[in-house]
Structure 1
Amino acid sequence: MLAYERFGSGEPLVLVHGIAHRRQAWYPVAERLAEHREVILFDLPGHGESPALDLAGRTVQEALHQHLVDLFDELDLVRPHIAGNSLGGRIALEAAASGIVSSATGLSPAGFWRDDKDFLLIRAHFIALIAAGRAAAPLAPLLTRSGIGRRLMLASLMTHGERLTPERVLGDLTNMVDSRHTLADIIGGAFPFEDDIAADIPVTVAWGTRDRVLLPYQGRRARQRLPRAEHVWLPGSGHVPMSDDADAVVEILLRGSAGGLLARADDAA
């Protein structure tokens, strides 16, 4: 069973973190979302407190999708709303394409790179990030004491790393290093997002204008690939925008997860 947290009230909203991250990535926005939604946070396999990713002869995409379906079954979730960041955003879009959710919101979702050469740069970024994390581990307790240190350590992921507590940054760093083998499996099995999503499932895609991992041009490609979706820019935000602009992220997730509610209300009428 995947490690998870469940709190709040209202329509269920499942939040999926990115590669080499953990469910705590959503903490800056989770409590405010819980005033309007039942929030479900979980650690992907091979991340945080969840068991290792076991492919068991499946592709990475198949394994991650089955873990999501199993989580829904365990928690008695029937077509919940879903939102995700980076890899989590890709998982959210794939859940929408398979019809198992009522709405999907992706914050810089993976899968919209141009070609293999372009993807090599993304892969190199994560390899460098893991290497830097391992090298910085002995000094991390000292570096995280100051806001400037935290901002510099997280500069490739967000623009305001200083807003995270030292404990959060240290925990994220440990998780990132510990998840490196899962990261290698996921990146090794990556391919562009090309699925079709039914018109009756509302989709929202938001992209930080200062995303240094999945560069903003990918947001423009997502707009072309998903023309029926709502597309939003997050000015000044990086790849992990929940800490950079919590107000905007909360608004986007609530609006995105309201689309399915409105659609069902129309059906009932």
Structure 2
Amino acid sequence: MTTTVSFTIDSPLGPRPATVAYERKGAGEPLLLLHGIGHHLRAWHPVTDILAADHDVIAVDLPGFGASDPLPEGVPYDLGTVAAALGALCATLGVERPHVAGNSLGGLLALEMGRERLVASVTALSPAGFWSQAERRYAFGALRALRTGARALPYAAVRGLAGSAAGRAALTGAIYARPARRSPEAVIAETLALRDATGFEQTLAAGGSVRFTDDVPGLPVTIAWGARDRLLLPRQGVRAKHTVPGARLVRLPGCGHVPMNDDPALVARVIRDTTMRRPPATATARSTAMTTTTTTA
């Protein structure tokens, strides 16, 4: 069940009110789930129940996406401001240093929250911010095309396309390796979420110069990449490993940019493996092995 909560965020303009939507279920150590640009918290539904067996799961609609309000006028959608807003949200919900898992934009925010020591562990699934300039331009062009298509299609057309496997592939094949697995209702909802995302342009503009260049020492960190990611190419995972050398780098066979739908059991296992890891013994711990996780189709 989706709930909204209001709280105050610190911004370059001073304290400002914010309201976000979230879903919460399960019990155990808290786990914050963050979606990608143009998506919404329902992206996590394939794995929420699995994770809720061990965690107090809090899936969030980021500001300006899903059912959450946009940030107040004049407040930037930059990395530091949104990460601080998520920290304020956790404080309002009575959650101290949760584990966090994020996909794409959410993965970048998860890493930033880790860098700011706001969380207990980080799982970043195909995180933004490890691109070359050419790769960033390609990804942003693809995102703008998806947004334009979602805004141009009448609702009846979206509903009609979502009713067939081929139509679901046309609507979501850029982000899923197995779009036919997504239900028609979910595809309709996320196409509308992309169409109506009030924070899309501001977030894309804020990300134009973003690269994640800092280490995240002293925390369990996993960076996982779908082997069939067509939006942020898997080679970016190698750059991420060089940037965060203590991270575990995991390959997700058969998965696209949003892997939670393509292989829910695998993604849930990767997240749970991270939340159960102990922090490195020292902030200078280094890991050189790349982990490959396999699963059956």
Selected match of 1:244 from 244, 262, 266: 262
What is the match of residue 131 of structure 1?
148
What is the CA distance between 1:108 and its match in structure 2? 0.1
Report the Cα distance in structure 2 between the residues aligned to 1:136 and 1:69, rounded to whole angstroms. Answer: 36
Bigger drift between 26-35 and 183-192 goes to 183-192
What is the CA distance between 1:257 and its match in structure 2? 1.1
What is the match of residue 194 of structure 1?
213
Report the Cα distance in structure 2 between the residues aligned to 1:14 and 1:174, rounded to whole angstroms. Answer: 24
Contact persistence 1:55–1:63 (CA under 8 A): no
TM-score (norm 2): 0.84
What is the match of residue 292 of structure 2?
none
Selected match of 1:121 from 123, 134, 138: 138
Contact persistence 1:84–1:107 (CA under 8 A): yes
What is the CA distance between 1:93 and its match in structure 2? 0.3
* Residue 192 (structure 2) pairs with residue 167 (structure 1): no
What is the CA distance between 1:263 and its match in structure 2? 4.1
SS at match of 1:77: coil
What is the match of residue 97 of structure 1?
115
Report the Cα distance in structure 1 between the residues aligned to 2:263 and 2:38, rounded to whole angstroms. Answer: 21
What is the match of residue 217 of structure 1?
235
SS at match of 1:216: coil
What is the CA distance between 1:17 and its match in structure 2? 0.5
SS at match of 1:3: strand
Report the Cα distance in structure 2 between the residues aligned to 1:59 and 1:235, rounded to whole angstroms. Answer: 33
What is the match of residue 53 of structure 2?
35
Post-superposition CA distance 1:108-139 (Å, at most 9, x none): 00000012x33211111111111121233341
Report the Cα distance in structure 2 between the residues aligned to 1:193 and 1:263, rounded to whole angstroms. Answer: 21
Report the Cα distance in structure 2 between the residues aligned to 1:137 and 1:109, rounded to whole angstroms. Answer: 31
What is the match of residue 267 of structure 1?
none
Instruction: Give the 3 Å change call, closer, same or farther, for CA 137–161 of structure 1 in structure 2.
Output: farther
Post-superposition CA distance 1:51-83 (Å, at most 9, x none): 112364546123211220111111111111000
What is the CA distance between 1:223 and its match in structure 2? 1.5
- Unaligned 5+ segments in structure 2 are 1-18, 281-297
SS at match of 2:56: strand
Report the Cα distance in structure 2 between the residues aligned to 1:162 and 1:136, rounded to whole angstroms. Answer: 20
Post-superposition CA distance 1:4-28 (Å, at most 9, x none): 1111011111000000000000000
Compare the two structures and name the one with the higher strand fraction.
2
User: For this pair of structures, how many residues does the alignment match?
Assistant: 259
Identical amino acids, percent of aligned pairs: 39
**Cα RMSD after superposing both structures:** 1.5
* Residue 200 (structure 2) pairs with residue 183 (structure 1): yes
Report the Cα distance in structure 2 between the residues aligned to 1:136 and 1:233, rounded to whole angstroms. Answer: 35
Selected match of 1:143 from 161, 166, 172: 161
Report the Cα distance in structure 1 between the residues aligned to 2:214 and 2:65, rounded to whole angstroms. Answer: 26
Instruction: Give the 3 Å change call, closer, same or farther, for CA 161–96 of structure 1 in structure 2.
Output: same
Q: 2:89 is matched by which residue type in structure 1?
A: L
Q: 1:188 is matched by which residue type in structure 2?
A: A
* Residue 85 (structure 2) pairs with residue 67 (structure 1): yes
Report the Cα distance in structure 2 between the residues aligned to 1:239 and 1:112, rounded to whole angstroms. Answer: 14
Post-superposition CA distance 1:199-225 (Å, at most 9, x none): x21100000011011011111111211
TM-score (norm 1): 0.92
Instruction: Give the 3 Å change call, closer, same or farther, for CA 78–28 of structure 1 in structure 2.
Output: same
- Unaligned 5+ segments in structure 1 are 265-269
SS at match of 1:79: coil
Q: 1:81 is matched by which residue type in structure 2?
A: H
Compare the two structures and name the one with the higher helix fraction.
1
